[in-house]
Structure 1
Amino acid sequence: MTETSTVGAVVVSGIGVVIDGRPLLADVDLTVRAGEVLALVGPNGAGKSTLLRAIAGDLAHSGTVAIDGVRTGGVRTGGEAPLATARRRAVLEQDTAVAFGFRVGEVVRMGRAPWRGTPRAVDDDTVVARVLDQVELADRIDQAFPSLSGGERARASFARVLAQSTPVLLLDEPTAALDLRHQEAVLAVARAHARAGGAVVVVLHDLSLAGAYADRVAMLAGGRIVADGSPTDVLTADRIGTVYRHPVTVVPDPNTGTPVVVPSRTLQEASS
């Protein structure tokens, strides 16, 4: 495995995942540098979420993963203890369920758990207030989490991940439940985290969002990375059409020049 001393970097070497005899990932190599947002894209079943869970150390796999030069995956497999890993990376899963009627502030404060009993615990109140402000939920701090809308719950869950204060963020479809403005806002926060020296790996289905906010895009198909590079290099019409099995047009954003992906559609005339 290639070692790195870059703060917040993620190094994936030869990752493979087999579940119930079915290979979900095969021989995946990937490096995410500090200061970088990497978007994982690909069709349903390509292995995006599986790869994210493997990076997080939440899924058994072959190969190795290191965050900030330290191997993860648990002490039984030669990695560090889970608590130490939780101080290096925070994970936002697709579905975040809260079984009891916790208030929003309490849910976000759960992200501070890895720092309990350390000198950094003194910052809990400040951090919770700051991240709630970042996701525009400061006025909901005392509201019951289950009473929030789906999009508000997604933003509160994102705030919990931010509150964990780790160099690496692993985000699985953080924009799926959000309206247009909050999609842009969440990814802007993720990008700011990277610009401050962190690293972000984010699974996205919206290829235009990936093109706008990612420094690099890794496209998966069939459990393998089929392209890895700048958004402009990876998000081409030919490649997307082949991998997603649907024709698209890719045009530059008129303001930023980043790739905008438009699916080809045939409108059917409504029958009278």
Structure 2
Amino acid sequence: MKTLQPVRSARDWRPEVHNSASSHPQPGIPFIDTDALRFASSDTASYLVHCADPHSHGHAVQLLIERRYAWRGLHAGDAHHHQSRPDCITLVASSGKDVFGTVTLRLDGPAGLLADTLYGEELAYYRQGNARLCEITRLAVDTHHNTKEVLGALFHLIYIHFRLIHGGTAVIIEVHPRHAGFYKRMLGFTEIGGEKACPRVNNAPAVLLHLDVRHVDEQIALLGGTGSCRARSLYAYFLSREEQDDILASLTAGH
């Protein structure tokens, strides 16, 4: 039975795109408005996934990241690092005033990626092959919600922005070595950079993981929208291709 799906109602559920100065824009990156996408969940009535507004979400996002990092024995660093960057977009999952999930996408460009500090040589190898990279950072989800459902929604919307809007080819992420198995098993990441001390999390150990988004394309087509607990893959909690296409059409309308 499908457990993750947009809630249809009299109000159009699809995202609206705004780029006006009054709507905390991300230049060049269409974002999901606060009333844009509502999800039904197996353990809560519904929740929204939308672009973070630094003015209304900044403090809640900072507290969530600090709490979840501290639970793992890590230091979160500067939670506001990305909020004003035009090459970044931060999504939040919330119900009312409760922000319980967040993730930030950073596009590669002249300023590079945060992972360049430790893994510049590894990333240079992929750039030489004309890879279009992005980086996932500041991922945090409270476990009192269905973590797989929330992660599926957040990751799929990151995929839509990076792959379908910006033509990306690969995702990289720095993670603690003890968490690497989850990303490999559930999403198909592979390790391309060995263990090093990461200064952004108080010199905790990190490894660099890489994901070819062609694998994501295939897994969404195979498992997206099924919500199958028997599939040992996070892609079962992604949206279906049809729902994805509706969201993409709404985000890119008029662009």
Please, what TM-score do these two structures have when normalized by structure 1?
Answer: 0.32
Please, what TM-score do these two structures have when normalized by structure 2?
Answer: 0.33
Q: Which has the higher contact order (CA 8 A, sep 6+)?
A: 1
The structure with more radius of gyration? 1
